[in-house]
Amino acid sequence: MSDQDPTERYPGPETQGQEQLEHPGLSREMDQHPDYGEDTYRGIGKLTGKRALITGGDSGIGRAVALAFAREGAAVLISYLESEETDARETARLVQGAGQKAVLAPGDIRDEGHCDELVQQTVSQLGGVDILVNNAAYQMSQSGIADITTEQFDRVLKTNLYAMFWLCKAAIPHLSPGSAIINTTSIQAYQPSPQLLDYATSKAGILNFTKGLAQELAPKGIRVNAVAPGPIWTPLIPATMPPEKVEQFGADTPLGRAGQPAELASVYVFLASADSSYITGERIGVTGGNPLP
């Protein structure tokens, strides 16, 4: 595979097809291990001295972001579900390997009190909070609206929307000029799949929330932006999609493959750093060529 040709940089969908029966899925149980940037990301100190809170930091995009942040000089608090403990410890090992402090914070962000506690833990154990990354999400593919239960709809919105609201509300009093909030939306906010109706709805809400909050916080020197991934190869995919969808995951993009978590990390670093000081209320798409409006 070529490091230069983006269509060949990573394996195509024909190498996928694995199914994990338990949600949210674990990175260590994947046959095709995602690339988190362990061997490729090189930091140059863009986030030196910063303190970051990252939800869903155990694996997937969250792990790649935690690793990149640490290699850029930031200490990291990693939020995750207790069932993801083994993956979270691996993320912490990578952060510590970059010479930065890693704080493990298990718990369910569907609980407002836990969201408040995450911010307080970041402040008490890292000395403050400069970057909030709302990345954790829940999805479960269904055949249509008839199969989306109220329980599932509630879990999706509580994890994806409510937690972001609670975390932002708790973190803002601790943020100062130069701080950044980065939310993870999705191509689903623009191109909703019927099988992911509830998830797509939540991701559209995240996009609008980002734009509105950015306008409120801009005069305070706090920037709010979003990243909109397309199909990214993470443990969430084999754990929440049927095998036939997993096998072709990412094949319909112009680049012909799914993206890897490592291919998003530098975008989060950019939005967290002074490199993007004149950008707020925006979203950056990482979609493999699928156009966003």
Q: Which of 178, 179, 154, 155 is nearest to 168 (CA)?
A: 179
Alpha-carbon distances, residue 174 vs 137, 147, 192, 199, 242 (angstroms): 24, 41, 35, 30, 42
Active site annotation includes 190: no
Order across the sheet with 223-229: list the strands. 102-106, 75-80, 51-55, 131-134, 180-184, 223-229, 283-286
Q: HSE of 187 in the Cβ direction (CA atoms, 13 Å)?
A: 17
In Å, how far are 58, 163, 169, 228, 264 from 108, measured between CA atoms? 13, 9, 17, 23, 25
Q: How far apart are CA 89 and CA 78, in angstroms?
A: 9
Query: How many whole angstroms from its chain centre is CA 282?
Result: 16
Residue 115 identity (one-letter amino acid): C
Distance between CA atoms of residues 104 and 85, nearest Å? 9
DSSP class per residue in 23-84: SS--GGG-SSPPP-STTT----STTTT-EEEEETTTSHHHHHHHHHHHHTT-EEEEEE-GGG
Catalytic residue among 36, 41, 199, 268: 199
User: How many alpha carbons lie under 13 Å from residue 38 in its C-beta half-sphere?
Assistant: 14
Task: Please list the active-site residues.
Answer: 199
